[in-house]
Amino acid sequence: MRSFVVADIPGLIPGAAQGAGLGIRFLKHLTRTKLLLHLVDVMPPDGSDPVENVRAIEEELKAFSPTLAARPRWLILNKLDLIPEDERADFCKKLYKRLKITKKIPHFAIIAASGEGTQPLCEAIMTHIEEDRAAQLENPELAKRELDIQKAMQAEARDAIAELAEARQRARAAKKENDDDDWDEDWDDGEVEVHYVQ
């Protein structure tokens, strides 16, 4: 039986690498992957541009870990059922062109809800994983390079998380200091009047 594990990483928004949303918690899990599948809604519910959405995620990956951003990444266009069937091929072609997707970069168009296009995608993923695994078994240098890449991504992730924790700590300290200063200023300005009422 052939199989592989897929981890769905939702919630990556602009600023995720700097701690916005739950992004950094999800990003750190990506450092254990060998292949990134970028699943893109062709008609996002919020009306946003799918190309800009792809670019935003690319920027978050680079900001979090340049090594992770350099990992193989395939583009998967989803929800094609929202586009009239006779317009789908042209629509996808235009998106690929705007994203500068060439035949060298694997890309797929699917309808996840019905499963359309998912079988060829799964086959391609499995083949990629098996070929990568076989190449590493055959060539110890490739296996060592993969291990080095994993270590680099994990180090970059630790650094990014530590940097974020320090920034948050500085922000909390500054807020506390400002709050204390405001209290001291109010207390010392002589303009505070206290009236006791019985």
Distances (CA, A) of 164 to 3, 125, 151: 36, 33, 20
Tokens 């990992």 sit at which residue? 71
**pTM for the full predicted model:** 0.76
- The answer for residues whose C-beta is within 8 angstroms of residue 132's C-beta and 6 or more apart is 34
Q: Which domains does the chain have, with CATH numbers?
A: 16-171 (3.40.50.300)
Strand partners, 116: 111
For the segment 125-154, what is each residue's pLDDT rounded down to a tens digit?
999 999 999 999 999 999 999 999 999 998
For the segment 40-95, what is each residue's pLDDT rounded down to a tens digit?
999 999 999 999 989 988 888 888 889 988 999 999 999 999 999 999 999 999 99
In 3D space, the residue among 178, 181, 198 whose CA is nearest the CA of residue 189 turns out to be 181
- The answer for residues whose C-beta is within 8 angstroms of residue 82's C-beta and 6 or more apart is 42, 43
